[in-house]
Structure 1
Amino acid sequence: MNLDGLTMSVLADELKSAIQAGQIQKLYQIDKTTLLFKIHTSRDNFDLIITVGASPALYLSAPLQDLPKEPSSLCMFLRKHIEGSRITSIDQINGDRIFCISIDKLEMNGSITTTKIYVELMGKYSNCIFVQDGVILESLIHVSPLMSRERSIGPKIPYELPPNTQRVSLLDFSESELLDLLRTFHQGNVENSIRNIFNGFGKPLLQELLTRAQLDGKVEFDELSPEKIQILAHVLHMVSTELKDAHGIMEYHNSNNKLVHSPIQLSTGTLEKTYETISAAIAQSVKSDGAIHTADRELEKIITNAIKKEELRHSKIQKELDDTDKMDTYKLYGDLLMINGHLQVQYESSIDLPNLLDESGNTDMMLTIPLNPQLNIIENGQAYYKLYTKLKNRMISGRYQLDSSTTKLMYYKSILYSLSLATTRESLEEIRSECMDAGIIKKSKKPLSYKLSKTNYIHFNVPGGEVFIGRNNQQNEYLTHRFAKPNDLWFHTQDIQGSHVILRASNPDDDMISRVAQYAAYYSRGRDSSKVPVDYTYIKSIKKPPASPLGFVIFNTHQTMIVEPKKPEYIKE
């Protein structure tokens, strides 16, 4: 989500009102380009995220589900200087896409150390730089002289603002001062003059300014009449006033059907959505883009790679099994060569023989059998018998390996589905623990600081009964094999990864069973389909094969219902 400098001025006010004077209690490095600050204020606790990766942003976030357990060396270094500090000011530099967050820390000797955090949201040149006494303490991204001749960034290097910060902020001037700036510093056409004088004008706000002033941005500024310049200065002041009073951000579809964002109302385009805060809009954009590699996203990546690896192994086994189609042909070749063992074929590359073993009785049909010229006919026959035996053994072991690979693929995909349902740290830890037991990831040497509960599953009441839904395989295992009673009904989507759903009711009717089947379809990968097959049976019919993975079951009797997925109306998620 690319925001211009003027929109970020509204974000700066938003951050000031929320976290200025707050204390930084904890610092996390989520990934190589993202930091999370846990901030406590007298009113509330906030999570401030600074990311300078693919989607550079600075915003207040909802609490993240899963944070790194082990801090990086950079994180440990920054914690020493940052944690416990109080935020004294949050400023935008000259209306540009640069924020300066000043923090003070009371040292053990009673002195106060001031650190300035410069957040530069400049596209691919974005960075987060920590500065003390004008010298860079550390930064998320180091820039060497070989990478940039204009500006180096790294520890113990004096901090300099990026180029092009000589322009001014629209918000700092009155209408008469804006008029003087336009008359004095205009250069080129109207559009270029505005951008050369003022920082922060993106396309949407610049187009809105020109629309209100009824000007063509491509017209040379010198061709404007004094009245037109006066109107332009007035409109600039109007926009400045609206930005100072703005809260949140609006999302529009412009004439090219592209999404644009603005903190003030636009004269053109279709309003699609309004966000109460800019942070909320940024957070949604970052989440949809997957721009921050949180620990749960890293876990998702690991599971996805495990699935790809197993799919490659599965296809290789299948290919080897396909080769066993030649098994019977090799046996036939061996039999025919043995029958004609009296023939001299040494130094021949092939031999034509009548197919005496043809099932149709057509012995006149000739077969061309490839030979090894260095072997006699008996030795060639024995070579074909060896190939036959090898393929026969491969077929037996291959079928077993293929079944095992199919089960493992289904299991890995069920873990990936479980990850999409994880909404709490406990749920993610359950999945992580399961992945460790399955050998997908290495077991952590650091134990959990709390005990995982067995009651994290979804539970709600329905008229005449109760419904229990597992969020992951561990919960599915517990609900189906330990918690449920023999006469409880068990639901699961047919051949689709999903949750185990248990219905506990004394006399469930068809309508109740149908509704719970809809819930089972909703808590599955078939959620977005219109018709999903759901199997259901009594718990007493469910069996777990020995040594099978978590959540894997078999049953000897069941019924199937085709339903449309429906979210339970009894719960809020």
Structure 2
Amino acid sequence: MNLDGLTMSVLARELNESLQSGQIQKLYQVDKHSLLFKVRSANQDVNLMITVGANPAVYICNPLQDLPKEPSSLCMFLRKHIEGSRITSVEQINGDRILCIHIDKLEMDGSITSTSIYIELMGKYSNCIFVQNDTILESIIHVSPMMNRERSVGPKIAYELPPNSNRVSLLDFSEEEISNLLKTFGSGTVINTIRSVFNGFGKALLDYVLNQSNLDGSEELTTLSDTSFQGLYKSLYNLKEKLLVAHQLLMYENTRGKKIFMPFPIEIDYTLIKTYPSISNAIEESIVATGSIHTADKELERIISNAIKKEELRHKKIKDELDDTQKMETYKLYGDLLMINGHLQVQYQTSIEVQNLLSESAETISIPLKPTLTIVENGQWYYKLYTKLKNRIISGQYQLDQSTIKLEYYRTILYSLSLATTRESLEEIRHECMDVGIIKKSKKPLSYKLGKSNYIHLEIPEGDLYIGRNNQQNEYLTHRFAKPNDLWFHTQDIQGSHLILRTNNDADDMLISQVAKYAAYFSKARHTSKVPVDYTYIKNIKKPPKSPLGFVIFNTHQTMIVEPEKPPMYEE
């Protein structure tokens, strides 16, 4: 979400009200371009997110479920200098898309160290820079002279604001001062004048001012009548007054379907689509929708997806090699025919035509040759190809079967990630990935013990329903927790959860059908219809030796085609 400088003034005031006097208790580097500050302010925990990646933004966000377990070098450096500091104020610089968070830290010797965090939200030039005594302490992105000739950004370099010294903030001036600025520095059209004098004007707010002053913007400023000129600076002052009391963000849509965002209500030909109680809410919704911040769970999803792609390539390669074995009998025939005709001289020939004496029709066959070999050596070469393909059938089919199981298993891990809503569930999946080698094992131990009861437990009138969120929970429920006469449910050939139905009496067809609908809901086919669900007694379930977590086989079962349905007692 791209906000102009004037709308960011509302955001700056919003952040200042929430963060002022708060203490920075913890700092995390969520991804390469994003930092999360945990701030304790007014007896409340506030999460401040700063990201300068694909969608640069600063906003107050909801708590993140999964944060990096091991801090980066930048994170450790900033923790040393930033953690424990108190936020004195949050301000906007010159009405531009630059926010500055001022913080003070009480050192061990009783002195106070002041740091300014400059958040420059300027598209691809965005950055977050930590400054002490006008010198850069560190920054998320380092900018060398080769990257930008106007300004370098890096440790121990004097901090300079981005080059934009000619413009000022509309919010700093009275009505009379705004009029004088337009008269003194105005030149060219009305639009060019406003943009050359004041910072922070996006198209939406500029159109609003022009609409309020009954101008289209193409008029020369010097040719405006006194009435039109008065209407212009009064409209600008009126905009300033509205911005000073604005506290929300409104989404409008015009007749062509184009959306605009305004920090206050407008009365022009636009339809109000949505009202956000704060600008942070709007930014967070946009960031989450676009997946701009790669949190630890998003990174885990990326790693698993890459492992699936890698295994799919391996699977295809094995299959292609097995398809080549169809030529096996042809190579044997070529070898036999070349040996029968071993008396012929074929050196330096690329092919030979011989009569197929091993066929009843005795048709003529053209056999490709290696020019440097004799006819007998060519026959031996075809025999070697035949033997190689014959051996490949045995080992290749085994590898293909194992690759199919592995691919399906990786897909179940990826599906289980979509069900993970707690830190414990995500940690279970991460450890499962470590065990199978998808990600490198962490040397850092967990600060808590993973429980075995993180599965979903739903009480129904007829008994109890147990649902696994991931492969480890599926394994535990099916092979250790369930009793022989419990019913087991799972979607047929579709990634999903294991469901265990435990009842006091025998389950009737209506109950089985209802639980099958729940099984379809807790699967990758949740948003489809007519999902096949297998069910059988636990006593019929077997686990092959050395098979992956959650993998089962059964010798008898029944299948039911159902529509997915969310359990009414389940809350996500």
Query: Shorter-chain-normalised TM-score: which range?
Result: over 0.9
CA distance in 2, matches of 1:393, 1:153: 61
The verdict on how the C-alpha distance between 1:354 and 1:164 changes in structure 2, with shifts beyond 3 A counting, is same
Kept in 1: contact 2:29–2:72 (CA 8 A): yes
The 3 A distance-change label for structure 1 pair 231 and 324 is: same
Distance of 1:495 and 1:35 partners within structure 2: 41
**What is the aligned-residue identity percentage?**
67
The answer for unaligned runs of 5 or more in structure 1 is: none
Measured in 1, the distance between the counterparts of 2:263 and 2:568 equals 36
Q: Please say if residues 37 and 48 of structure 2, whose CA atoms lie closer than 8 Å, have aligned partners that are also in contact.
A: yes
Aligned to 1:21: 21
Q: How does 1:219-368 map to 2 (within 5 A)?
A: 219-266=219-266, 267-338=268-339, 340=340, 343-347=343-347, 350-358=351-359, 361-363=360-362, 365-368=363-366
- Does structure 1 residue 394 correspond to structure 2 residue 399? no
For the structure 1 residues 230 and 350, does the alpha-carbon distance in structure 2 shift closer, same or farther, using more than 3 Å as the test?
closer
Please give the secondary structure, in 2, of the residue aligned with 1:454.
Answer: coil
CA RMSD of aligned residues (A): 2.1
Give the match for residue 448 of structure 2.
450
2:12 counterpart of 1:12? yes
- Deviates further, 344-353 or 458-467: 344-353
User: 1:515 maps to what in 2?
Assistant: 514
- Do residues 188 (structure 1) and 163 (structure 2) align? no
Structure 1 residue 394 displacement after superposition: 0.6
TM-score by length of 1: 0.94
1:460 is aligned to 2:458:
yes
Q: Distance in 2 between matches of 1:351 and 1:111?
A: 94
C-alpha spacing 1:217/1:81, structure 2 compared with 1 (3 Å): same
Q: Is the 8 A contact 2:151 2:162 kept in 1?
A: yes
Measured in 1, the distance between the counterparts of 2:160 and 2:236 equals 30
Say which is worse superposed, 479-488 or 245-254, in terms of deviation. Answer: 245-254
Measured against aligned partners, the alpha-carbon deviations of 1:285-318 in whole angstroms (never above 9, x if no partner) come to 1222222222222222221221111111111111
Instruction: Tell me what 1:51 maps to.
Output: 51
Partner of 1:534: 533
Instruction: State yes or no: 1:3 paired with 2:14.
Output: no
- Using a 3 Å threshold, how does the CA distance of structure 1 residues 530 and 227 change in structure 2: closer, same or farther? farther
For 1:14, the aligned partner's letter is E
Tell me the amino acid that sits aligned with residue 134 of structure 2.
Answer: G
How many correspondences in the alignment? 569
Q: Secondary structure in 2 aligned to 1:417?
A: helix
Unmatched tracts of structure 2, length 5 or more: none
| 1:369-424 Cα shifts (integer Å, max 9, x gaps) | 34456656555444333322211111111111111111111111111112222222
Residue 485 of structure 2, aligned match among 484, 487, 497: 487
Q: How does 1:205-224 map to 2 (within 5 A)?
A: 205-224=205-224
Counterpart CA distance in 2 for 1:80 and 1:555 is: 57
Q: Check if 1:31 corresponds to 2:35.
A: no
Displacement over 6 Å in runs of 4+? none
Alpha-carbon distance in structure 1 between the residues aligned to 2:330 and 2:550: 43
| Contact preservation (8 Å) 1:346, 1:374 | no
Aligned to 1:143: 143
Deviations 1:467-525 (A, max 9, x none): 22211111111111111222222222222222222222334333333332222222222
Aligned in 2, Cα 1:105/1:373: closer, same or farther, shift over 3 Å? closer
Distance 1:495 1:398 in 2: 23
Q: d(CA) in 2 for partners of 1:510 and 1:176? A: 81
Indicate the residue corresponding to 2:402 in structure 1. 404
Matching residue of 1:123 = 123
Q: Deviations 1:141-176 (Å, cap 9, x if unpaired)?
A: 222233223222222222222222442222233333
Normalising by the residue count of structure 2, what TM-score does the alignment of the two structures yield? 0.94
Query: Following the alignment from structure 2 to structure 1, what is the Cα–Cα distance between the partners of residues 217 and 507?
Result: 71
Residue 400 of structure 1 aligns to a residue whose secondary structure is: helix
Higher deviation after alignment, 82-91 or 136-145:
136-145
Distance 1:165 1:500, change over 3 A: farther
Contact 2:346 2:352 (C-alpha < 8 Å) held by counterparts: no
In 2, distance between residues paired with 1:555 and 1:543?
A: 6
Task: Report Cα offsets for 1:189-232 as digits up to 9, x if no partner.
Answer: 11122222222111112112222322102222223221122222
Deviations 1:24-80 (A, max 9, x none): 011112222211111012331011111111111101111112222222222222112
Q: Supply the distance in 2 between the matched residues of 1:565 and 1:223 (Cα, whole angstroms).
A: 68
The 3 A distance-change label for structure 1 pair 511 and 166 is farther
Deviations 1:218-250 (A, max 9, x none): 222223221122222222233222222222212
Task: Report the CA distance shift for 1:151/1:274 in structure 2 as closer, same or farther (over 3 A).
Answer: same
Q: CA deviation at 1:342?
A: 6.8
The answer to whether the 8 Å contact 1:470/1:479 transfers is: yes
